[in-house]
Structure 1
Amino acid sequence: MRLPALLILSFLTLSPALAADTRPNVLLMMADDLAATLQCFDYSQAKTPNLDALARRSVVFTRTYCQFPHCNPSRSSMMSGLRPNTTRVTNNEDNLYTNIPDVLTLPHHFRNNGYATARCGKIFHLGVPTGLESMDDPQAWDFGTPFKSELPYPLKRESSVKVKTGKKQGLPWQEIPGGDDQLVDGNFAKTAIEWLGKRDKSKPFFLAVGFHRPHMPLVAPAQYFDMYPLKNITLPEAPANDEADIPAPARNGAVPGYALESTPEQRRAAIRAYLACVSYVDAQAGRLLDAIKQMGLDDNTIIIFTSDHGWHLGEHGLWHKRSLFEECARVPFIMHTPGMQTGGKRSQSLVELLDVYPTLCELCGVPAPTHLQGLSLTPVLRDPAASIQDAAFTQARRGADAEFWGRTIRTARWRCTEWDEGKNGIELYDHDKDPQEYKNLANDPQHAKTLKELRARLAEKLPPIVK
């Protein structure tokens, strides 16, 4: 049996039987609709002490990108190790198992290889807050929490923040009384901790905990709203002409009711609510991390925290997902391995969510399936200054009827985006000079060579999706 990479790094020599018993556990925590809005990702408004503490003993990957900024497509890609133009899952109704009947997902593969597997919450797609649209892999889990509606919510607490509402109220939000377990994420953390205590201890475990928040509706216990005085919330700044050079498909699909015509005060209240939900998720992650430590599992557990895709909080006038701008394609990604010598380091290596599957296989001594389209991150875990790839790729559908198809490449310096292979718009942004992607350079002759090269890579890597 091939030894786990993390044990190789420790220069340990184990017999096959002993290695099988001591393979590392996996705790995968995944938030929903979470942009890189954590303090450890330099988002100063966020209060995320538990994830910040995890980051201080982990490698923080600052350039990690989803493959499709929509729940089901992103999760299907990450869990199968296949790009969306292979899975052909491009909306929440597409079924991965219909498109690829013999697909071998990450947790299913670990279960086949002797791991005790459990799911608490949303790992594969699950509609929020009703529990509909379940796309779970039933062969992946020894244990899975039942899908159930989160509705109705507890009575709304009278908020200290008074925001004048009208026809255009911005994003819906609600402060509720009571503790964390009033909402499903608290119960997911609680159930996961209970499962850890009752699990089959003769096997290593693969525990996946998927938090619903900060997915809308933006509901959290009142204590998390109280962490964010409205006066301290700031809106993103942008040039007055920011949207003038953005192609129509890149701006399409943002629902007018989502704060496009709301007041600045309403938009600040929406950001406050989003951050309250982020802090609520941080608290549930903290409960799990504390349990892992108290149970003596910390020395042999790989820990990952990430999200299915990013989200817009007013950048470029957008308040949702499904765009191909940095805020939506980029996700937070924190990874800790037992005994790692690089804890607290930050990596600018370009990473895709596709890379999770092969990385965990290598670290756990599980043979990687030959179909995987991502790369193992183990070289970067050893040396955060290393790089395993020079580009990350994301695809999207935009518009009320998903009539526009987009694809983007992100390199260390550039982002190049095409809509319908360029027929409905092209974007080029220089991240060295314009990290907020305010100035579209696609029509600048000085960058024609760069644009041509990047578009050629897009055409080669991401051919049009055939439905």
Structure 2
Amino acid sequence: MTARPNILFIMSDDHAARAISCYGAGLNSTPNIDRIAGEGMRLDRCYVTNSICTPSRASILTGTYNHVNRVTTLDTYIDNRLPHVAKHLRQAGYQTAMFGKWHLGEGKAHQPTGFDEWSVFPGQGEYFDPLMIGPDGAEVVSGYASDIVTDKCIDFLKRRDPDRPFFMMCHHKAPHRPFEPHPRHRHLHADGKLPVPETFDDAYDNRAAAAAAAKMRIRRDMTYRDLGLAQPEGGAEVGELLVAGRRDRKIPDLSAGGELRLVDAATGETHVFTDPAELALFKYQRYMMRYLQTVAAIDENVGRLLDHLDAVGLTDDTIVIYTSDQGFFLGEHGWFDKRFMYEESLQMPFLIRYPGVIVSGSISDRIAMNVDFAPTFLDYAGAPVPNYMQGTSLRPLLERTAGEDWQDVAYHRYWMHKDDFHNAFAHYGVRDSRYKLIYWYNDPLGETGANHGDEPPEWELFDCVADPFELCNRADDPACRDISLAMLDKLDAKMAEIGDLPEHDSRALRASLGGI
């Protein structure tokens, strides 16, 4: 173990904690990712500030919330003149590298800065033979994305200066939609027997309007390409367009007495359906099969990286992190995708190993957030944590010295009100160790005090212990008045702390609850 450890940060895209076997859901096996947890710590309450790819990545890099770094949506890219963790580590003498999914914009104003070496996918990137961009331009790289990213990481490790520590960001594209597994994994989970979530048939009763309005339902919003099916030629009779101007269409649902024939794009096998319930389960199994097949390639490549560290004697001197840029719905509430502050989307998997410092096989249920990652890296590197960063070093949590005054709330804000693809509503809120308060302000512009949405604002309050699936909104329950007031206090305090201006009127709400 050295005084200044190497830092290997491995991040996938849309990898739900439930699809990592050490989290105990029983869906799949990820022995290599599990190894990080077995030899280190698993965080069970690590949360994202904004459950969408680009803003989450900006918060991870800068250690700031999105109203500060200004990356609030998929279309607001990072200003690469901003300071961030790689720049600080580079200044402190670290070699820095970034390989894989950047997703913070292209061109001189947005491409990676602060890295000695970088090679990234433009936009989402492709699974097979992807185009990759680097300081010397663009090139098509033959192979499968997860393998290619790992090849580049291992090549950097072989060429690094052995007398200086390194900070490397290994960013996988997988398992992002549309799910395209490598042929070597297409046999996995092909028996159609994956467990169906208890909430798959959720009717969205007693919830905010946003839940029923979202276009993220496996039953009706997945495309032929998502499920590896051949899209027939035709127009609306083939299925609803995913979005205007694109070819992809959603697989239609069945009406009573109807028939639907679906063809496997790889094998030509035809599946015939006359029962809507049977079709819905087929879509779920097909979605989960392909999603978990792409995860298998990530797990293999995590194993390659860990084996390389072992082979060159770097294991004891390297902090290894595995995480995802946010959570993901795996059929819970009938959904795929993310965006919402509901638990499956809010929770990020986070596994970390640092031999001799972090106790093997340890688990933490203390609250952590993605804005905390950058301060943590700087802390372990012995570098100053700049005062613009809003996160907190997780070192006390990881080394089990955190006291009772450890941060007790996570803050989340989603800004992309009613986007064309998913129709998710704008919202923000806080989650503590037991309760969650969400305000659906339904304002597409995010202007304080204004409401330009079609739906009135709504509040949701969930008891995440008694109601872990978040099926019962208690915001209007008189028995929960004191809890609502306490959570409102936490929301107001957190927004004041980080400088995010509220859209809600706390005084009016407290008056309605009898709190003032």
**TM-score range, shorter-chain basis?**
0.7 to 0.9
Letter in 2 for 1:66: V
Cα pair 1:65 1:331 within 8 Å, conserved: yes
Residues 461 and 134 of structure 1: is their aligned pair in 2 closer, same or farther, counting only changes over 3 Å?
farther
Which residue pairs with 1:125 in the alignment? 104
Helix, strand or coil at the partner of 2:310? helix
Which residue pairs with 1:55 in the alignment? 37
Residues 302 and 322 of structure 1: is their aligned pair in 2 closer, same or farther, counting only changes over 3 Å?
same
Provide TM-score, normalisation by structure 1: 0.82
Return the offset for 1:80: 0.7
Instruction: Give per-residue Cα distances to partners, 1:150-181, cap 9 Å, x unaligned.
Output: 55848xxxxxxxxxxxxxxxxxxxxxxxxx97
Residues 384 and 52 of structure 1: is their aligned pair in 2 closer, same or farther, counting only changes over 3 Å?
farther
Residues 29 and 151 of structure 1: is their aligned pair in 2 closer, same or farther, counting only changes over 3 Å?
closer
Residues 106 and 136 of structure 1: is their aligned pair in 2 closer, same or farther, counting only changes over 3 Å?
farther
Q: Choose which of 145, 158, 167 in structure 2 pairs with 1:184.
A: 145
1:383 aligns with 2:395: no
Q: Choose which of 267, 271, 279 in structure 1 pairs with 2:296.
A: 279
Helix, strand or coil at the partner of 2:205? helix
Which residue pairs with 1:419 in the alignment? 440
Return the offset for 1:134: 9.7
Helix, strand or coil at the partner of 1:85? helix
1:432 aligns with 2:470: no
Return the offset for 1:421: 8.2
Structure 1, unaligned runs of 5 or more: 1-6, 8-18, 127-131, 155-179
Higher relative contact order (CA 8 A, sep 6+): 1
Cα pair 1:24 1:204 within 8 Å, conserved: yes
Cα pair 1:348 1:385 within 8 Å, conserved: no
Instruction: Give per-residue Cα distances to partners, 1:248-306, cap 9 Å, x unaligned.
Output: 22444425422794521111110111111112111111111111111111111011111
Comparing 339-348 with 74-83, which one deviates more in the overlay?
A: 339-348
Letter in 1 for 2:400: D
Helix, strand or coil at the partner of 2:299? helix
1:41 aligns with 2:2: no
Q: Choose which of 26, 35, 56 in structure 2 pairs with 1:74.
A: 56
Letter in 2 for 1:197: K
Return the offset for 1:457: 2.4
Helix, strand or coil at the partner of 1:305? strand
Residues paired across the two proteins, number: 414
Comparing 75-84 with 334-343, which one deviates more in the overlay?
A: 334-343
Query: Any residues of structure 2 matched to 1:180-329 within 5 Å, and which?
Result: 182-238=143-199, 242-255=203-216, 256-258=220-222, 261=253, 263-329=280-346
1:109 aligns with 2:88: yes
Return the offset for 1:339: 1.3
1:330 aligns with 2:335: no
Instruction: Give per-residue Cα distances to partners, 1:185-223, cap 9 Å, x unaligned.
Output: 111101110110001222110011000000011011133
Helix, strand or coil at the partner of 1:263? helix
Comparing 238-247 with 84-93, which one deviates more in the overlay?
A: 238-247
Q: Distance in 1 between matches of 2:358 and 2:401?
A: 11
Return the offset for 1:63: 0.7
Q: Distance in 2 between matches of 1:330 and 1:123?
A: 21
Q: Distance in 1 between matches of 2:13 and 2:209?
A: 27
Return the offset for 1:102: 4.9
Comparing 381-390 with 242-251, which one deviates more in the overlay?
A: 381-390
Q: Distance in 2 between matches of 1:306 and 1:445?
A: 39
Instruction: Give per-residue Cα distances to partners, 1:380-430, cap 9 Å, x unaligned.
Output: 122188562111111113413678421121111111111118952211111
Which residue pairs with 1:147 in the alignment? 121
Letter in 2 for 1:430: D
Letter in 2 for 1:189: T
Structure 2, unaligned runs of 5 or more: 130-140, 224-250, 254-278, 444-455, 504-516
Cα pair 1:81 1:105 within 8 Å, conserved: yes
Residues 135 and 209 of structure 1: is their aligned pair in 2 closer, same or farther, counting only changes over 3 Å?
farther
Q: Distance in 1 between matches of 2:301 and 2:285?
A: 25
Provide TM-score, normalisation by structure 2: 0.75
Letter in 1 for 2:492: A
Helix, strand or coil at the partner of 1:96? coil
Q: Choose which of 372, 375, 383 in structure 2 pairs with 1:358.
A: 375
Helix, strand or coil at the partner of 2:168? strand
Instruction: Give per-residue Cα distances to partners, 1:16-36, cap 9 Å, x unaligned.
Output: xxx8xx511000000001111
Which residue pairs with 1:162 in the alignment? none
Letter in 2 for 1:407: Y
Comparing 425-434 with 250-259, which one deviates more in the overlay?
A: 250-259
1:395 aligns with 2:395: no
Q: Distance in 2 between matches of 1:318 and 1:139?
A: 36
Return the offset for 1:145: 1.3
Residues 135 and 196 of structure 1: is their aligned pair in 2 closer, same or farther, counting only changes over 3 Å?
farther
Q: Distance in 2 between matches of 1:312 and 1:403?
A: 14
Residues 225 and 434 of structure 1: is their aligned pair in 2 closer, same or farther, counting only changes over 3 Å?
farther
Return the offset for 1:229: 3.3
Return the offset for 1:356: 0.8
Helix, strand or coil at the partner of 2:112? coil
Residues 311 and 222 of structure 1: is their aligned pair in 2 closer, same or farther, counting only changes over 3 Å?
same
Residues 94 and 240 of structure 1: is their aligned pair in 2 closer, same or farther, counting only changes over 3 Å?
closer
Cα pair 1:249 1:424 within 8 Å, conserved: no
Cα pair 1:441 1:447 within 8 Å, conserved: yes
Residues 136 and 334 of structure 1: is their aligned pair in 2 closer, same or farther, counting only changes over 3 Å?
farther
* Greater per-residue helix proportion: 1
Cα pair 1:254 1:319 within 8 Å, conserved: no
Query: Any residues of structure 2 matched to 1:448-467 within 5 Å, and which?
Result: 448-462=481-495, 463-464=500-501
- The two structures, once aligned, show a CA RMSD in angstroms of 2.7
Letter in 2 for 1:96: I
Q: Distance in 1 between matches of 2:280 and 2:109?
A: 37
Tell me which stretches of 4 or more aligned residues in structure 1 moved more than 6 Å: 132-135
Helix, strand or coil at the partner of 2:398? helix
Q: Distance in 1 between matches of 2:63 and 2:56?
A: 10
Q: Distance in 2 between matches of 1:290 and 1:418?
A: 46
Residues 53 and 197 of structure 1: is their aligned pair in 2 closer, same or farther, counting only changes over 3 Å?
same
Residues 138 and 240 of structure 1: is their aligned pair in 2 closer, same or farther, counting only changes over 3 Å?
closer
Cα pair 2:127 2:145 within 8 Å, conserved: no
Residues 84 and 186 of structure 1: is their aligned pair in 2 closer, same or farther, counting only changes over 3 Å?
same
Instruction: Give per-residue Cα distances to partners, 1:431-462, cap 9 Å, x unaligned.
Output: 22111111111111111111122123223423
Q: Distance in 2 between matches of 1:26 and 1:443?
A: 47
Helix, strand or coil at the partner of 1:232? coil
Structure index of larger Rg: 2
